[in-house]
Amino acid sequence: MPKPHIVRKGDTLAKIAEAAFGDRKLAAALAAYNGLADTKDIRIGQAVQLPGKAELKPPKARPAGARAGVAPWPPAPHGMDAIVATFGDIRGFARDDGTPDPKWETQFMARAALPFPIPLDWDRSKSASGIRCHKLIAPLLEAVFTDIVGKGLQGAVQTYGGGYNWRMKRGQAKPSTHSWGIAIDLNARTNAMGTAGDMDPRLVELFEGYGFVWGGRWSGSNKDPMHFQYCSGY
């Protein structure tokens, strides 16, 4: 499991790599592991995930469209205030009838193209070729699924259960992370809420390496092994 290091004043990725691995030259690999644009792409308070040294690979090419020096996606926010600051103030778009103001979707939602089709959980005769999600994480989801193919884990992704979906958290009066388009559900048939499920641990590790939180780590009836979300503390 990667361990988070919270970036402090004066930290550089080279210093963090030196302290964690005894090798400043692993800064670029650490940047790549965290989905950062380059070794300067850190801010105070940001969580940098530190995997085992053996897991650090040479830096990957930046996803197409990423500009030099600009991170292709924001770091995963922690808590409601940070989620709102990063992905939009959802409270201003909720209508009394339980539907979103259409501006929510036109301003914030986009589509991540999938490198392979995934059968729909609710109708396996059809497949998803893309994921409707927040526009800021579309390149991140594309990178994650490209990595899934690269690591030979395509077979672990059996069904697609949904990305963007305007709704409340199950049994609660606050918006689900699906409402921001920053969560996706996979393999729902065998990963019902409150169960241990059968999610492939290599898939979990891959998503977590990109900063996703896996609902299978939550406890009791909150346990949600089909669910991956790009934020924590919520």
List residues binding Zn ion (CB under 5 A): 183, 185, 227
Q: How far is residue 221's CA from residue 9's CA, in Å, rounded to a whole number?
A: 39
Determine the residue with CB nearest Zn ion.
227
Residue 46 C-beta: closest distance to Zn ion, Å: 25
Element at 204 (helix H, strand E) = helix 201-209
- Residue 186 pairs in a beta bridge with 160
CB contact set of 93 (below 8 Å; sequence gap of 6+): 100, 101, 103, 104
- Taking phi first (over 0 means left), then psi (-120 to 50 degrees means alpha), and beta for anything else, what does residue 34 get? alpha
Smallest CA-to-CA distance from 2 within 216, 207, 234, 225 is with 207
* 142 versus 185: smaller Cβ distance to Zn ion: 185
Contact 35, 24 (CB under 8 A): no
Residue 161 C-beta: closest distance to Zn ion, Å: 7
Tokens at 31, concatenated:
């940047």
* 132 versus 227: smaller Cβ distance to Zn ion: 227
* 26 versus 183: smaller Cβ distance to Zn ion: 183
Question: Where would I find the H helices in 110-180?
Answer: 138-150
Residue 119 C-beta: closest distance to Zn ion, Å: 17
- Residue 113 pairs in a beta bridge with 130
Residue 103 C-beta: closest distance to Zn ion, Å: 24
Residue 109 C-beta: closest distance to Zn ion, Å: 16
* 83 versus 183: smaller Cβ distance to Zn ion: 183
* 90 versus 183: smaller Cβ distance to Zn ion: 183
Residue 185 C-beta: closest distance to Zn ion, Å: 4
* 32 versus 76: smaller Cβ distance to Zn ion: 76
- Strand 213-214 and strand 109-120: pairing? unpaired
